[in-house]
Amino acid sequence: MALVRAVGGRLVVFGVSLLLASLLIFVLTHALPGDPAIKILGTGADPTAIAELRHRLGLDRPASVQYLDWLGGFVTGDLGRSYTTNEPVAVLIAPRIGVTGWLCGISILLAPLVALPQGMLAAVKRRNWSGFAASALSQLGLAVPAFYAGILLVVVFAVKLHWLPANGYVELRDATGWWDWPGWAQHLVLPVLSLVLVQASVLTRYVRSAFLEVVHEDYFRTARSIGWTQWRALWRHGLRNVAISVVTVLGLQLSTMLVGAIVVEQVFRLPGLGTALLQAVSNGDLQVVQTIVMLLVGFVLVVNLLTDLVYLVIDPRLRSGGRR
């Protein structure tokens, strides 16, 4: 019952947060300067034509009606139509979700695979040159923004060595049904590396700090005293005890990775959600803007919910309301 109550409480918080986020996004989006109808028709357009376009787009309705209609569209799957192209928003952004999803998904899977061994090495060998090198590399990664890392990677691997394409994107499966794995992977290598280098560096610092606490605990000393090697003791007892710290940072990193992905998409000219968002902002297409922002915020809230649920599995004390 304690577990059910804990999960139920988190689901309620998630639902309320999602509703408040949708309201805030709608208010801020419609507070942006400029009339979408004037941006579409131009400043010299006839006022009658502007009024007719506002009526066709539904902009002359009360704000509360517009909000409820937009919110209901997320429930029914009807996200409305683009103000500028009149295409269904769902059709417009569906392929772009896949691009951003692949970029962030692969990056968040690779970042822990790099950070965990590097963080463990930096903690265990902190008085050795190898530990110093691991810490120095993570500090260097923290100092380099994702977009600058992307530019450096393009200069080295695309311009100088000609190993990988500098920009662009190839669909994993084209219109004819052909699966182009090599072309798809080649165009994602550099963008993924740009995100992984930065995110793994951040995660490495937290992993190192968490393992430094573990090596001074009594259970770790006991394991060492009975003949276990340092690495075996860390793997058997340390990994589970640092899991909460790692999960916390991973949840936060997923949120910040979305921001980094928007910039990286611009560097590598990827047709993802970030590119669509910036184009919609410049065109004054509020329907697309608020939908994409809501999707991104919803993703962050889902990640936070999953992080809390993982906490309940890792630390049973949280099921009864204990401290983290």
Report pLDDT for 157. Answer: 93
Q: Domain limits of the chain?
A: 2-76, 99-271
Closest CA to 60 of 35, 77, 24: 35
Across the chain, what does the average pLDDT equal?
84
- Buried/exposed code over 56-87 (b: 16+ C-beta within 10 A; e: otherwise): ebebeeeeeebbeebeebeeeeebbbbbbeee
Higher pLDDT, 312 or 31: 31
Tell me the fold of 99-271.
MetI-like fold (1.10.3720)
Q: How confident is the model at residue 319 (pLDDT cuts 50, 70, 90)?
A: low
pLDDT of residue 323: 45
DSSP state, residue 157: I
- At 35-83, the pLDDT tens digits run 788 877 777 778 888 888 888 888 888 888 989 998 888 888 888 888 8
Binned at pLDDT 50, 70 and 90, residue 316 comes out as low
What average pLDDT does this structure show over 277-298?
A: 88
In 87-166, which ranges are continuous DSSP H helix? 89-124, 129-143, 146-153
DSSP alpha helices (H): ranges in the chain? 2-30, 36-41, 47-57, 63-76, 89-124, 129-143, 146-153, 181-214, 218-225, 230-233, 239-241, 243-268, 273-283, 286-314
pLDDT surpasses 60 at 324: no
State pTM to two decimals: 0.82
Structure-token pair, residue 90: 């769902």
For the ranges 99-103, 220-224, 257-261, the one whose mean pLDDT is highest: 99-103
User: Tens of pLDDT along 156-192?
Assistant: 999 999 899 988 888 887 767 788 888 899 999 999 9
Q: How far apart are CA 137 and CA 277, in angstroms?
A: 33
